[in-house]
């Protein structure tokens, strides 16, 4: 059960960070790079929880 809660919290944090990145007054190319980095970090964090790494 705690694994499910951890995954849900990680997903919510990634969505929140992506929302906040959209609110930043930077150009589209920089936003796209930041979004990709956030998504990759979120996936890696989830894989760590599932014990792949």
Distance (Å, whole) CA 9 – CA 4: 9
**Predicted model pTM:** 0.78
pLDDT digits (tens, 9 = 90+) for 2-52: 788 888 998 999 999 999 999 989 888 999 999 999 999 999 988 887 876
Scan for tokens 């990759």, then name that residue.
Answer: 40
**Pair 46, 52: CB distance under 8 Å:** no
Please report which confidence band the pLDDT of residue 53 belongs to, taking 50, 70 and 90 as the band edges: low
Give the residue extent of every domain in the chain. Answer: 2-49
């Amino acid at each position: 059960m705690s694994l499910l809660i951890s995954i849900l919290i990680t997903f919510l944090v990634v969505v929140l960070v992506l929302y906040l990145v959209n609110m930043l007054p930077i150009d589209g190319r920089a936003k796209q790079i930041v979004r990709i980095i956030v998504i990759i970090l979120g996936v890696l964090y989830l894989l760590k929880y599932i014990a792949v790494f």
